[in-house]
Amino acid sequence: MNTGAPLLSVDNVSMHFGGLKAVDGVSLTVAAQQVVGLIGPNGSGKSTLINVISRIYDPTGGTVKLDDKEIAGVAVHEIAALGITRTFQNVRLFPTMTVRDNLRMGTTSATRAGFVTSGLALPAARREEKAVDQQVEDVAVLLGLEAQLDRVAGDLPYGLQKLTELGRALISNPKLILLDEPVAGMNSSEKQALVAALRRVRAARPVAFLLVEHDMAFVMSLTEYLYVLNFGKLIAQGSPEHVRADPGVIEAYLGV
């Protein structure tokens, strides 16, 4: 599976805010359908790197390639159509809309949420809407959200809101999903439900994940390969077992 160029290739990327080197010369790769972990203490630059990869920030230096193509010129609203979607550290749903409509917002089709039909001939628009409905149903079934589709997103328990956000990221059939601390703030049964959902997604869809966490136990239960950031720099990489035993990683996590 992992032949040829990596799906995602981050090469010597830096993101400086004034004098602060939030990300400082980081290189990493994610292969197609691989789950890669990105861990590090709070403030180590994980979200900033996700924001660079998802084009929220223009990096101060370095390159990001998807399928060997530089994404520097891609606008943030075009990134999903290119194949990269994400979730946020704090849930960002449309709280007054239903789960169904939140999922529709993730589609890159012309009939997104049923709003933009005017540019298409009516039969084509109807076909598109049917296809979107089917995508919504499929993702809801995969994530166990079928019973929630007509509920207002803001009324759902936190774990189901996070699953809805994952669904929105999944619905456009991306090649890569960036997950920024998906289990932060979850209780243990919500965490277990998310792990189970991610396992089902992996089995059903050809998608890769870059999974950002500072909860090492969680990330190690899902990934085969980890990168570790500290103060914006990569300090270790490798299998969970290798990384866990690394003295620099232990020091960074214990803060000694």
User: Can you give the binding site for Mg ion, defined by CB under 5 A?
Assistant: 46-47, 89
Q: Which stretch binds ligand ADP (CB under 6 A): 38-46, 64-72, 112-120, 141-149?
A: 38-46
Q: Which residue is nearest to Mg ion (CB)?
A: 47
- Would you say 38 or 71 has its CB closer to ligand ADP? 38
- Alpha carbon 127 to chain centroid distance? 29
Interacting partner of 29 out of Mg ion, ligand ADP, none (Cβ under 5 to 8 A depending on kind): none
- Taking CB under 6 A as the criterion, the residue among 25, 43, 144, 238 binding ligand ADP is 43
Question: Which of 47/148 has CB closer to ligand ADP?
Answer: 47
3-state secondary structure of 164: helix
* Identity of the residue, 60 or 108, whose beta carbon is nearer to ligand ADP in the bound complex: 60
Candidates 9, 14, 34, 44: give the one binding ligand ADP (CB under 6 A). 44
List b or e across 106-143, with b for residues whose CB sees 16 or more CB atoms inside 10 angstroms: bbbbbbbbeeebeebeeeebeebbeebeebbeebbebb
Residue from 82, 126, 131 nearest 104 by CA: 131
Please tell me whether residue 62 binds ligand ADP under the rule CB under 6 A: no
CB of 180 to ligand ADP, least distance (A): 7
Identify whether the C-beta of residue 193 lies closer than 8 Å to the C-beta of residue 186. Answer: no
Token readout for 252 is 């960074």
SS3 content of the chain, % helix, strand, coil (to 5): 40, 25, 35
Query: Radius of gyration of the chain from Cα atoms?
Result: 19
Residue 17 to residue 215: CA distance in whole angstroms: 26
From the list Mg ion, ligand ADP, none, which binds 109 (C-beta under 5 to 8 Å, kind-based)? Answer: none
Does the protein bind ligand ADP through residue 189 (CB under 6 A)?
no
Which of 37, 40, 59, 159 contacts ligand ADP by CB under 6 A? Answer: 40
Residue 56 within binding range of ligand ADP, rule CB under 6 A: no
Q: How far is the CB of 20 from ligand ADP (least distance, A)?
A: 6
Q: How far is CA 22 from CA 149, 184, 213, 247, in A?
A: 39, 21, 16, 23
In one-letter notation, the amino acid at residue 215 is: D
| Binding at 3: pick from Mg ion, ligand ADP, none (beta carbon under 5-8 Å per type) | none
Partner touching 48 among ligand ADP, Mg ion, none, CB below 5 to 8 Å by kind: ligand ADP
